[in-house]
Chain A
Amino acid sequence: MKIFIYPANSLILSDLVERFGHEPLALMKEIRKKVTDPGLDSPPMNMTPDDAKKGLKYAAIEIPSGVRGRMSLMDPLIEEAQAAIIVEDADYMFGCMGCARTNELIKYTIRSKGVPVLELKYPKNENEAKNFVLLVKEFLDKLVIKVEAPQ
């Protein structure tokens, strides 16, 4: 199954999801499409004014274009998500207001999408880290059983 991960660029989440037999929907995949395209519209990252328009799907016109641009980048990931793992309180998840509001919107959109969501806190010590791995494994195993069960 395709699993949306938050933080969307997390090494640990990306690795665990792949290791336990699912496909992580990570931000790096979308970034690669943008930065390796030979587009000349908006170098160096190829984020164009059209991306802000695509973001209208998630946020109204009066919302800053930065939020809408970021949402357009995340859109394919949100659309494809069949389940999600949201990890709160990561030390490195800070940034400007645009990042913060986009993060809130991403979490809200995923929660309201109706897919199975596992919500965890970032581990701070050894015991929490061990439990974190076990909880992720348990969640991913349950997903497989649910899909394989007869209707």
Chain B
Amino acid sequence: MPEDKITKMVVISDTELPSDMAINAYKVSSDVTIKETCYGLMVTGTRGEVDKVVNEVRKLNPTKIFVKERGFPPGDERRCRANRGGGPRPGFHQLKNEIDMLPDIGKGLILVDRGSKPLDLPEAKNIPVDKFKQIIAEEAEKLGGKSQS
């Protein structure tokens, strides 16, 4: 039985360019299909070859290159925007949300390399009611109205 084909997404955060990633990915193996996208690359092929390519690409800048597997193959009509009359593809909002956070996650990875330990961060507390009422009164006064307190 032939080995299953998988697709992995290589997602880059801030300064890297998808075209640089693609050039480096092509150097590693010719047995995979590489698609350049706005967020990075999609690499399709057998699991062994895809893992080899993404591991090599990740080595270029480990704190700014992130990888996850993708269910649908690239260009699949059920996901491709070309056949949907525009709009974001399903999964875009989740990806966008996480891409915004990747620079901070990258900084966390640098701390891991330095051997840092996690801290107990203080939890954000709600503002006291009296303080909140005071702010409302001050703002109301600025606008020339009267607060009801």
A15 to B, closest residue via Cβ: B66
- A137 at the binding interface (Cβ < 8 Å): yes
7 intermolecular pairs with C-beta atoms under 8 Å apart? A10-B94, A11-B9, A28-B70, A32-B4, A34-B71, A35-B78, A92-B97
Compute how far the CA of A125 lies from the CA of B11 in the bound complex, rounded to whole angstroms: 20
Compute how far the CA of A123 lies from the CA of B93 in the bound complex, rounded to whole angstroms: 17
How many inter-chain contacts with C-beta < 8 Å in the A-B complex? 102
- A127 at the binding interface (Cβ < 8 Å): yes
6 A-B pairs besides A12-B105, A28-B69 with CB distance below 8 A are A9-B91, A12-B101, A26-B68, A92-B93, A127-B121, A131-B108
* Secondary structure class of chain A's binding surface, majority of residues: helix
A91 contacts B112, C-beta separation under 8 Å: no
Compute how far the CA of A73 lies from the CA of B9 in the bound complex, rounded to whole angstroms: 22
Given A14-B68, A133-B112, A126:B104 Cβ within 8 A:
yes
B79 → chain A closest CB, angstroms: 9
- B67 at the binding interface (Cβ < 8 Å): yes
Q: State which residues 17-65 of A face B: CB under 8 Å.
A: 18-19, 26-32, 34-36, 44-45
Query: What residues of A have a CB within 8 angstroms of the CB of B118 in the complex?
Result: 131, 134-135, 138
Size of chain B's interface in residues, with CB distance under 8 A?
A: 38
B104 contacts A129, C-beta separation under 8 Å: yes
Given A91-B97, A133-B109, A26:B69 Cβ within 8 A:
yes
Size of chain A's interface in residues, with CB distance under 8 A?
A: 39
B108 contacts A27, C-beta separation under 8 Å: no
Query: What residues of B have a CB within 8 angstroms of the CB of A35 in the complex?
Result: 71-72, 76, 78
Compute how far the CA of A10 lies from the CA of B98 in the bound complex, rounded to whole angstroms: 8
B97 to A, closest residue via Cβ: A92
Residue ranges of B at the interface with A (Cβ–Cβ < 8 Å): 4-7, 9, 11, 62, 66-73, 76, 78, 91, 93-95, 97-99, 101-102, 104-105, 107-109, 111-112, 116-119, 121
- A89 at the binding interface (Cβ < 8 Å): no
Compute how far the CA of A18 lies from the CA of B65 in the bound complex, rounded to whole angstroms: 13
B71 contacts A12, C-beta separation under 8 Å: no
B10 → chain A closest CB, angstroms: 10
A137 contacts B112, C-beta separation under 8 Å: yes
Compute how far the CA of A14 lies from the CA of B95 in the bound complex, rounded to whole angstroms: 12
Compute how far the CA of A90 lies from the CA of B98 in the bound complex, rounded to whole angstroms: 10
